[in-house]
Amino acid sequence: MKTILSEQQIALTVKRLAHQVLENHLQLKDTVIIGIQPRGVFLSDKIVDELKQIVPPSSVQYGKLDITFYRDDIRKELHVANKTEIPFSIENKNVVLVDDVLWTGRTIRSALDALLDFGRPAKVELCVLIDRRFSREFPIQPDYVGRAIDTIVSQKVKVFWQERDDKECVDLI
């Protein structure tokens, strides 16, 4: 097991990702942040908290998207859905989708399908904490990346969050 990001590195990475989003979307005008349930929400919560320290909190539109029933790779299993909370229109908005790890691209493909049920965004960008670059099954690339790593299929990237795991780090197992 190898630690990819420590707690301090995650904090710095979150700060950097928030600033990068803000660089491309000044004052977040016509921009919404949407965390992908369940694991992307831990990262999106932190990014949104960071953004609210830089711009007026009222200018941050934040939603959470459940993709459980849009997945194409887990239909045979019974899954408990998470909650989708998107209390605003995404029609003609810039959407920044947030997830913890980008690996095959299947989660993001599902999120794009789910997102279209809420309107037609002007643009969709992807923000991830970890980009596992060489295992993509779909032509999906992140716009904002915390750390890009090269892994083999047998390795796992495990993201631990303080709120859920009582520690905060990213490990390669």
Length of the chain: 173
C-alpha closest to that of 117 among 80, 89, 83: 89
For residue 161, the model assigns a pLDDT of: 96
C-alpha closest to that of 106 among 117, 114, 96, 94: 114
Report yes or no: 85 and 66 within 8 Å, Cβ to Cβ: no
Report yes or no: 121 and 93 within 8 Å, Cβ to Cβ: yes
For residue 57, the model assigns a pLDDT of: 96
Which pLDDT tens digits describe the chain residue by residue (173 residues)? 999 999 999 999 999 999 999 999 998 999 999 999 989 999 999 999 999 999 999 999 999 999 987 876 665 555 566 789 999 999 999 999 999 999 999 999 999 999 999 999 999 999 999 999 888 999 999 999 999 999 888 999 999 999 999 999 999 99
Please tell me the total count of domains within the chain.
1
The CATH number covering residue 151 comes to 3.40.50.2020
Q: What is the pTM of this model?
A: 0.93
Residue 28 sits at the vertex; the CA angle it makes with 27 and 31, to the nearest 5 degrees, is: 165
Containing structural domain, residue 56: 2-172
Q: Kindly list the strands in the beta sheet with 144-149, ordered across the sheet, starting from the edge strand earlier in the chain.
A: 61-65, 31-36, 94-102, 123-132, 144-149
